[in-house]
Amino acid sequence: MDEPVIDLTAISAVVFDTDGVVTDTARGHAAAWKHVFDAFLRGRSAPFDIRDDYLRHVDGRPRLDGIRTFLASRGITLPEGGADDEPGAPTVHGLGLAKDRVFMSQVDEYGVAAFPSTVALLHELRHRGARTAAVSASLHGRRLVGSAGVMHLFDLLVDGNDAALMNLPGKPDPALFLEAARRLSVPAGRVGLVEAALPGIEAARKGGFGLVIAVHRPDGFGETAGPEPAGGAAELSEHGADLVLSDLGELSVRGRVLPLTS
């Protein structure tokens, strides 16, 4: 197999999803979802399974979309409710608010860490003239990236607040990623995209991005021997990833992005 590489003679910018790629928050999200869904499912259905339910139905999607998709997989329909619902109320918004409260309490207590290999890659890309952007479906995307101390490594960030203001659909629609490419003033075909979730890989392929890199951390959710879970390396490749890496430290950078001349 050839060495995994970003060739900056073909790629001028790289867009990074945040959870599980830039910030080590995917496990926190999964744990918060399990806490909320298990409480709701008690007496209704089997417990929430991080190895399958989270990775297949929730990971990478906007919060409310993830709730709808997961509940549909269990044959459960809830009223939508609204933003003023009590957290934990049996509505889509109620479950979403409960999850948000649990997750952000974890952030407040423990903080947010960035993956060192991602930080090193960002430094290398910027040293070689590539533009970079962070994308998050979360309304807290800016706060999380800022808390991790890496905001200065991105030219811009597009998050759930932008999606709400612009009425952009969530993944697997490529709208958020394409908005980042538009703001970078780089055509999607010359943008590399780094993702960790199946819906994001689908979105990258639909958006026509020039290089699609999947980060699959086999120990990210306490995986053990047995059938590969949803969102495993094979499935990420099938959904359109050009490269599947267990860590961005495996990736090298070649070439340099030349400055525009008038």
**Residue positions annotated with a catalytic role:** 17, 19
Q: Across-strand partners of 13?
A: 131, 191
Residue with tokens 């995917």: 26
Residue type, 146: G
Triad 54, 34, 91: Cα angle to 5°: 95
224 Cβ contact partners less than 8 Å away, ≥ 6 residues apart:
none
Among residues 132, 136, 155, 152, the alpha carbon closest in space to that of 144 is found at: 136
Cβ proximity of 32 and 16 under 8 Å:
no
Structure token pair of residue 92: 């889509």
Question: Exposed, middle or buried, 133 (CB in 10 Å: 0-12/13-18/19+)?
Answer: buried
- Measured from the Cβ of residue 206, the count of other Cβ atoms closer than 10 Å reads 16
